[in-house]
Amino acid sequence: MTDSGALNTFIMFSTADWAAPYWTNKQHIAERLAMRGHRVLYIESPGIRPPKINSRDLSRIFSRLKRAWFSPRKMRETLWVHAPLTIPMGHKSRIVLAFNGWLLRSTIRKWLKRGGQKPTIIWTYHPYFDDAVRDLDVHSLVYHCVDDLASIPGVDSATFRKAELNLLRHADMVFTTSPRLQEHCAAIVGKRSIYERNVADLEHFSRARQAGDIPPELAAIEGLKLGYTGVLSEYKLDFALIEQCAKSRPDWNWVFIGDEPERQNSAVVARLGSLPNVHFLGYRTYERLPDYLRGIDIAVMPNLTSGYMSSVFPLKLYEYLAAGKPVISTSISALADMGDVISQVDGRDSWLSAIEATVESRPPPIPLEDPRIAERSWDKRLDRMLERLTIADR
Give dist(CA 302, CA 241) in Å, integer. 7
Q: Give the pLDDT confidence score for residue 294 in this predicted structure.
A: 98
- The verdict on residue 2 lying in a domain is no
180 lies in the same domain as 243: no
Residues 186 and 129 in one domain: yes
Residue 108's CATH number: 3.40.50.2000
Give a yes or no: residue 321 inside a domain. yes
Backbone dihedral angles phi then psi of residue 69, each to the nearest 5 degrees:
-75, -10
Same domain for 45 and 181: yes
Residue 49 has pLDDT above 60, yes or no: no
Cβ atoms within 10 A of the Cβ of 163, count? 19
Please compute the mean of the pLDDT values over residues 84-108 and round it to a whole number. Answer: 72
* pLDDT band at residue 154 using 50, 70 and 90 as cut-offs: confident
For residue 288, the 8-state DSSP code is: G
Q: Is residue 4 part of a domain?
A: no
219 and 91 within one domain: no
Tell whether 261 and 194 lie within a shared domain. Answer: no
The percentage of the chain sitting over the pLDDT mark of 70, rounded to a whole number, equals 88
- Residue 1's pLDDT is what? 47
Considering the domain boundaries, does residue 126 fall inside one? Answer: yes
User: What is the Cα–Cα distance from 293 to 299, expressed in whole angstroms?
Assistant: 8
The range of the structural domain enclosing residue 47 comes to 9-199+377-392
Q: Which three-class secondary structure string do you get for 46-62? A: CCCCCCCCCHHHHHHHH
Residue 261: what pLDDT?
86
* Count of CB atoms situated within 10 Å of the CB of 347: 13
For the segment 216-220, the average pLDDT, to the nearest whole number, is 98
Determine, yes or no, domain membership for 268: yes
- Provide the whole-model pTM: 0.90
Shared-domain flag, residues 213 and 195: no
* Mean pLDDT, the chain, whole residue set: 90
Asked if residue 326 has pLDDT above 80, the reply is yes
Task: Examine the pLDDT at 93 and tell me if it is beyond 60.
Answer: yes
Asked whether the beta carbons of 313 and 196 are under 8 A apart, the reply is no
| More confident site: 228 or 129 | 228
- Our measurement of the distance from residue 342's CA atom to the centroid of its chain's CA atoms, rounded to an integer in Å, reads 21
Q: Is pLDDT of 244 > 60?
A: yes
Whether the predicted pLDDT of 64 surpasses 70: no
Helix (H, G, I), strand (E, B) or coil at 6: coil
- Predicted confidence (pLDDT) at residue 263 exceeds the cutoff of 80: no
Domain count, the chain: 2
Residue 227 covered by a domain: yes
Q: Are residues 137 and 194 in the same domain?
A: yes
Tell me the C-alpha distance between 15 and 224, whole Å: 37
Average pLDDT over residues 281-310: 96
Residues 358 and 383 placed together within one structural domain of the fold: no
Instruction: Tell me how far apart the 2 most distant CA atoms of the chain are, in Å.
Output: 63
- In this structure, the answer to whether residues 341 and 386 fall within a common structural domain is no
Together in a domain, 120 and 26: yes
pLDDT average, residue stretch 173-179: 98
pLDDT at position 100: 72
Annotate 329-377 with DSSP letters as a single string. E---GGGTT-TTTSEE--SHHHHHHHHHHHHHH-PPPPPTTSHHHHT-B
Question: In this predicted structure, what is the pLDDT of residue 58?
Answer: 52
Same domain, 338 and 384: no
178 and 280 in a common domain: no
Confidence of residue 257 (pLDDT cuts 50, 70, 90): very high
